[in-house]
Amino acid sequence: MFRNFKMVSRVVFGRGCFQQLRDILHPVRNKTGSFMIFIVDDVFKSSPLNRKIPLHDGDTMLWANVDEEPTTRYVDTLVDKIRFFSQNLPGGIIGIGGGSTMDLAKAVSLMLTNQGFSADYQGWDLVNHPGIYHAGIPTLAGTGTEVSRTTVLCGPDKKLGINSDHTVFDQIVLDPELIMDAPSDQRFYTGMDCYIHCVESLAGTFLNTFSKSYGEKALQLCREVFLEHGSKRGIEIEEKLMMASYCGGMSIAYSQVGICHALSYGLSFVLGIHHGIGNCIAFNVLDEYYPEGVAEFRKMMDTNQIRLPENITADITPENFEKMINVALVLEPLWENALGKKWKNTMTREKIKELYQRM
Ligand code: NAD
Ligand code: ZN
């Protein structure tokens, strides 16, 4: 069976297109007759972007703190806040921020219409009802969250996405101006998430021409941004980065990521290391699996003057090693994509531990 996957319904792209948000939301407000909730990364509290958000009377702005990556507990708290604020469902949830904030918006939209707690839905296709209208507006580029069918959350016992067709955004607004001022390190780490999506997708056993076409395009754009342009910034370069993220996300939508992502989830769950930098740390020890990709990644690090933290697992207790290995092993489709159906024959707990010990 071929996967019949859901895509984002509407996309607007271009410098300054954020200004169209008022018009974009107008029909949604008319149809639902309800208010909007804006979930916005609190890094923008005192930025000009804050003043450009088209708030109407009755709308609510929730500042998201993403110092820690989104947890199921945080999602449930936001949902409780919205329910406390009004007995009526909002007309839409608009997430403005990096992958973390956009994921919060997706998860909140789903949990307003589905019973129970968000941790109940971590997994594949467990969501019963469509969420309410949700729009994503990235302020960092690389995760591909804007096009993906998942919202990645740290739960009580695992880091795992709520993967479902209902998770996909109804609308995305891709305005390269919003990513212009991202700090260089963060821009690099999130950008490398995209680069690694492409390498893992293109080297994977799930690859098909659909994924390959998007993956190759995204890879080419990453090379232009991080090798040819180096540490230079500019609106046209950010446009490329934004499209790299989109295409990288489309590539994995019809294939899968691989070993680096599985290991990075463990790092994030146990050590609280954010996804982008965690991927970089994990990818840097994966020469054995992605030799060309890792060599090129190191060139990109040099060109962009990035130094990764070292010996991050030096003080980890044996219990925490076990936890990290458990979290990594939950992600079976990732291992299968990387190593084929018989992946368990080669990827043992000892091998995973050895890889973690090298980080
Ligand atoms: P992020 O959203 O975690 O943000 C990283 C930091 O950058 C935060 O401190 C944030 O406040 C700050 N920031 C965001 N935009 C900024 C801007 N324009 N200027 C200054 N600071 C800014 O970073 P990310 O790498 O975009 O997202 C990582 C998250 O995305 C993780 O939680 C990961 O699990 C998730 N993710 C989701 C998917 C998916 O398909 N749903 C895919 C990959 C990663
Ligand atoms: Zn990723």
CATH for the stretch 184-357: 1.20.1090.10
CA-atom Rg of the chain in angstroms? 20
145 lines ligand 1 (CB under 6 A): yes
Rounded to an integer, the average pLDDT of 83-111 is: 97
**Can you tell me the distance from the alpha carbon of 244 to that of 191, in angstroms, rounded to the nearest whole number?**
8
* pLDDT tens-digit series, residues 227-275: 999 889 999 999 999 999 999 999 999 999 999 999 999 999 999 999 9
Q: Which two tokens stand for residue 70?
A: 């989104």
Per-residue pLDDT at 338: 98
Instruction: Tell me which ligand sits closest to the C-alpha of residue 103.
Output: 1
Among 6, 18, 65, 66, the mutation site with the greatest number of ligand 1 atoms within 8 A of its Cβ is 66
Q: Which two tokens stand for residue 192?
A: 């490398």
The ligand 1 atom at the shortest distance from the C-alpha of residue 193 is 43
Residue nearest atom 33 in ligand 1 by C-alpha distance: 275
Residue nearest atom 21 in ligand 1 by C-alpha distance: 182
* pLDDT tens-digit series, residues 126-138: 999 999 999 999 9
CB count within 10 Å of CB 350 equals 9
pTM score above 0.95? yes
Per-residue pLDDT at 3: 86
Per-residue pLDDT at 300: 98
CATH for the stretch 10-179: 3.40.50.1970
End-to-end distance of the chain based on CA atoms, in angstroms?
Answer: 39
Cα-to-centroid distance, 249 and ligand 2 (Å): 9
Instruction: Tell me which ligand sits closest to the C-alpha of residue 191.
Output: 1
Instruction: Answer whether residue 104 shows pLDDT above 90.
Output: yes
Among 275, 277, 281, 327, the mutation site with the greatest number of ligand 1 atoms within 8 A of its Cβ is 275
204 lines ligand 1 (CB under 6 A): no
CB count within 10 Å of CB 230 equals 14
Across the chain, what does the average pLDDT equal? 97
**Can you tell me the distance from the alpha carbon of 87 to that of 108, in angstroms, rounded to the nearest whole number?**
15
Instruction: Tell me which ligand sits closest to the C-alpha of residue 277.
Output: 1
Residue nearest atom 19 in ligand 1 by C-alpha distance: 182
* pLDDT tens-digit series, residues 23-51: 999 999 999 999 999 999 999 999 999 99
Same fold, 10-179 and 184-357: no
Instruction: Tell me which ligand sits closest to the C-alpha of residue 263.
Output: 2
Biggest CA-to-CA distance, the chain: 59
Rounded to an integer, the average pLDDT of 184-197 is: 98
Residue with tokens 């293109």: 202
The candidate with the shortest Cα–Cα distance to 107, out of 5, 120, 259, 220, is 120
pLDDT range class, residue 157, cuts 50, 70, 90:
confident
pLDDT range class, residue 159, cuts 50, 70, 90:
confident
pLDDT range class, residue 312, cuts 50, 70, 90:
very high
41 lines ligand 1 (CB under 6 A): yes
Rounded to an integer, the average pLDDT of 70-84 is: 97
**Ion ligand 2 nearby residues (CB, 5 A):** 193
Domain ranges of the chain: 10-179, 184-357
Helices 184-202 and 291-303, packing angle to 10 deg: 160
| H, E, C per residue of the chain | CCCCCCCCCEEEECCCHHHHHHHHHHHHHHHHCCCEEEEEEHHHCCCHHHHHCCCCCCCEEEEECCCCCCEHHHHHHHHHHHHHHCCCCCCEEEEEECHHHHHHHHHHHHHCCCCCCHHHHCEECCCCCCCCCEEEEECCCCCCCCCCCCCEEECCCCEEEEECHHHCCCEEEECHHHHCCCCHHHHHHHHHHHHHHHHHHHCCCCCCHHHHHHHHHHHHHHHHHHHHCCCCCCHHHHHHHHHHHHHHHHHHHCCCCCHHHHHHHHHHHHHCCCHHHHHHHHHCCCCCCCHHHHHHHHHHHHHCCCCCCCCCCCCCCHHHHHHHHHHHHHCHHHHHHHHCCCHHHHCCHHHHHHHHHCC
